[in-house]
Amino acid sequence: MTHPELMLQAETIADQIQKERGDARLNFLGEFSRAIQALKCNGAKVPARLRQLEAELCEEMAEAQFDNVPV
């Protein structure tokens, strides 16, 4: 895929994530991370907005794992 195609793919997934709420956002983490990684591997600069969204999703995933830990 070309840089523009990879960027479009990542932006499309980001738009889908933004439309979701709660745990539904986490369903896109794997696919989104792969799209970000593909951009990096192809030498494209990943926009800060996409990097920030990936970081937010990773944080949400970590928090979700601790929601089920008994105290």
**For the segment 16-67, what is each residue's pLDDT rounded down to a tens digit?**
999 999 889 999 999 999 999 999 999 999 999 999 999 999 999 988 887 6
Sign of CA dihedral 62, 63, 65, 70: positive
* 71 pLDDT more than 80: no
| Residue 25 maps to a domain | yes
Residue 45 inside a domain? The answer is yes
Within a domain: 71: no
What is the per-residue pLDDT across 15-28, written as a single tens digit (0 to 9) for each? 999 999 988 999 99
Residue 1 has pLDDT above 70, yes or no: yes
**C-alpha 53, offset from chain centre:** 6
Angle between helix axes 29-41 and 3-19 (nearest 10 degrees) is: 160
More confident residue, 70 or 60: 60
**Residue 8, in any domain of the structure:** yes
Residue 54 belongs to domain spanning: 3-66
> What's the structural domain count of the chain?
1
Q: Are 21 and 6 in contact (CB under 8 A)?
A: no
CA-wise closest residue to 41 among 12, 70, 14, 1: 1
Report yes or no on 37 lying in a domain.
Answer: yes
